[in-house]
Amino acid sequence: MCLAIPVRIEALIDAERALADIGGVRKEINIALVDDLSVGDYVILHVGYALNKLDPEEAARTLALFEELGQLQEAYDEAQAGEGGA
């Protein structure tokens, strides 16, 4: 019941309401808890209320970390395979 999902703001109605894309459907959500929203921002939506904005730069940074790890893993696997073949 604590589940919350990231949704994209499609249109602002007033200071407390916006339309968001929820699984392809536009729905009205309450944005009274989050300041300075613009169309295109992503928010975490919980029981009809936006709880916080998602920071795209920080998200990219976290993903880059995983990317790096994946590449390390590949290099490691290749090295292992190389050793095995020698």
Partner 1 sequence: MKYVDEFRDGEKARALAEQIRKEADPARRYHLMEFCGGHTHAIFRYGIPGLLPENVRLIHGPGCPVCVLPIGRLDMAIALARRPEVILCTYGDMLRVPGSGRESLMKVRAEGTDVRMLYSPADALKIAQQNPDKEVVFFAIGFETTTPPTALVIDQAAKLGLKNFSVFCNHVLTPAAMHAILNTPEADSGALELDGFIGPAHVSTVIGSAPYEPFPQQYKRPVVIAGFEPLDVLQAILMLIRQLNDGRCEVENEFIRAVSREGNLKAQAAVSRVLELRASFEWRGLGAIPESALQIRSEYAEFDAEKRFGVEQLHGRENKACECPSILRGVKNPRDCVLFGDPCTPDNPLGSCMVSSEGACAAYYSYGRFSEGRIPAEELRA
Spatial distance between the Cα atoms of 7 and 30, rounded to a whole number of angstroms: 12
69, 75, 78, 79: residue in contact with partner 1 (rule CB under 8 A) = 69
83 binds partner 1 (CB under 8 A): no
Q: Write down the least CB distance from residue 65 to partner 1, Å.
A: 7
Q: What is the dihedral of CA 58, 41, 31, 46, to 10 degrees?
A: -60
6 binds partner 1 (CB under 8 A): yes
The reply to whether 34 sits near partner 1 by the rule CB under 8 A is yes
- Which residue's CB is nearer to partner 1, number 39 or number 67? 67
CA distances from 20 to 37, 65, 77 (A): 12, 29, 43
Residue pair 59/67 in contact by the 8 Å Cβ criterion = no
| Positions in the binding site for partner 1 (CB under 8 A) | 1-6, 8, 23, 30, 32-35, 42, 44, 46-49, 51-56, 58-59, 61-63, 65-67, 69-70, 72-73, 77
